[in-house]
Structure 1
Amino acid sequence: MYKEFEEWINSVIEKGLPEGQGLCFNIYEDGNCSWSIELVVASSFDPEDDDWASEADFCADSSFSWKQVAEWDDVLEDAIQVMLRYLDEGKHAEDLKNRYMGISTGFVDGDLEHLYIKE
């Protein structure tokens, strides 16, 4: 899954991302063991209040989708590991960490997990 995620996120970033404070990977279930991730950028970021991510100023025009037979919490954990790997070794990882105050992920109707918070 990592290679496909990496290709998707690189293409989204290379099309251009706006300025903002927070970047969020929203995860949602499509049904029939299909899952998707959309990338949003918000003008605010608050690690104590997850509502910042629901007020996105930008949403990428494509999402990343995959099939996985698993419960939602396993899907979330697997997605987090892929995202953390990208933030550790991805082509644009340093740019994302320099540009945004925080990077988070979570299901659109759930709590956020913070992947990166700028010190």
Structure 2
Amino acid sequence: MYKDFEKWLNNVIEKGLPVGQGLCFNIYEDGNCSWSIELVIASSFDPEDDDWASEAVFCSDSAFSWKQVAEWDDVLEDAIQILLKYLDEGKYADDLKNRYAGISTGFVDGDLEHLYIKE
């Protein structure tokens, strides 16, 4: 699944991302064991207040979707591992970490997990 995610994310980034403070990968359930991730850029980033992610200045025009028979918490953990792998070795990992004050993920109606916070 990582290679497909990497291809999707590289494509989104190559189309151009706006200036912002926070980058969030919103996860949501589509039903029938289908899940999706969309990339959101927010005008602010506050690791103490998850509402920063609702101040979107950009949302990817496509989502990365996949099938997985699992509970939401297992899907979240799998997504975190894929995102951390990208932030460690992905083509645009350094660019994302340089451009944004924080990178997080989580379900749209849940708490955020911070994957990267710029020092």
- Deviating above 6 A after TM superposition, structure 1's stretches of 4 or more consecutive aligned residues are none
Q: Distance in 1 between matches of 2:116 and 2:105?
A: 10
Shift, 1:57, TM fit: 0.9
Deviations 1:11-64 (A, max 9, x none): 000000001000000000000000000000001000000000011111011110
The residue aligned with 2:118 is: 118
Letter in 1 for 2:5: F
Aligned residues: 119
Q: What are the within-5 Å matches in structure 2 for residues 23-42 of structure 1? A: 23-42=23-42
- Note the residue ranges of structure 2 that are not aligned, 5 or more in a row: none
**Does residue 32 of structure 2 align to residue 56 of structure 1?**
no
Q: What are the within-5 Å matches in structure 2 for residues 16-95 of structure 1? A: 16-95=16-95
Letter in 1 for 2:86: Y
The residue aligned with 1:100 is: 100
- Note the residue ranges of structure 1 that are not aligned, 5 or more in a row: none
TM-score, with normalisation over the residues of structure 1?
0.99
Letter in 2 for 1:89: E
Letter in 1 for 2:10: N
Letter in 2 for 1:87: L
Q: What value does the CA root-mean-square deviation take over the aligned residues?
A: 0.3
Q: Distance in 2 between matches of 1:48 and 1:94?
A: 24
* Percent of aligned pairs with the same amino acid: 87
TM-score, with normalisation over the residues of structure 2?
0.99
The residue aligned with 2:109 is: 109
The residue aligned with 1:14 is: 14
* Secondary structure of the corresponding residue to residue 114 of structure 2: strand
